[in-house]
Amino acid sequence: MQLVHSPASPFVRKVRACLIETGQQEDVTLKDVATTALDVAEDARAGNPSGKIPSLIRPDGPALYDSRVITRYLADRAVKAGGVDLYPESRIWEVLTLEATADAIMESAVLVVYESRLRPPEHRSEDWIEAQWSKVAHSVKAVNDRWMSHLAGPLDMSHIAIGCALGYLDFRHEARGWRKGNDALDDWFAVFSTRPCMAETAP
C-alpha cells in the first residue's frame, strides 16, 4: 500500500502514528507530494480526486480518504491480525466524537495557515482568521474541561488524534499559546508527546 502524504500535514501525521501504534509501518510506503490548496499536485489526485491528503492507495481496492476513513481501515486491519483495537466498541461514540473534535482543531488551524500564507495581504481577513482560531480555542478548552478522564484511559484513536492536533498547534501556532488555561491537557500532552508514534512523526 502507498500513503500519499506531505510530512507537515497533521492529518497525515495521524495516519502515520496509527501505523506505528498498530505495527503496520512495513506494509505501507510513503509517497511524498508537494501540493497546496492553490496548486494541487496530480500525484495527490491519484488517491483522492479532490487532491486532499492523505490518501491510501491499495492494490486490492479503491484508494481510501480522508484520514478518519484511513485510520478506521488500518485499525480494523490490525484487529483482524490480532493487534490492538484503536476503536473499541465499548466506547466507540466517545472515541469518534473526540477524534472529530481533534480533526476540527486541525482543520481550523490549517485554514489559518492558508489564509496567512496563501492569500495576498490585501485580501487577507483578520476577522476570518480570528473566527477560525476561536474554533480552535473553544475546542481545546472543551477537551481540557470535559475529556481528561477519557484521555487518562487506555489508548485509542482519539488520543492519537488529539496528540496530533496539539502538535500541529505547537508547530504552526506556538505564539497563540494554547496551553494557557488548559493545564490538565498541557500535562497530558507533555507525556503523550514522548510516545514513539509521536516522536517518530514530529514535523
Condensed to tens digits (0 to 9), the pLDDT of residues 180-201 reads: 999 999 999 999 999 999 999 9
- Averaged pLDDT, 98-127: 94
Condensed to tens digits (0 to 9), the pLDDT of residues 50-60 reads: 888 899 999 99
Domains, in order of start, for the chain: 2-80 (3.40.30.10), 89-195 (1.20.1050.10)
| Phi (first) and psi of residue 32, to 5 degrees | -75, 135
**CB under 8 Å to 167, separation ≥6 — which residues?**
10, 13, 193, 198, 202, 203
pTM for the full model?
0.95
pLDDT at res. 182 = 98
| Cell numbers linked to 7 | 510530512
Which residues are registered as beta bridge partners of 64? 56
Calpha distance 173→117 (Å, rounded): 13
pLDDT at res. 188 = 98
Q: How confident is the model at residue 32 (pLDDT cuts 50, 70, 90)?
A: confident
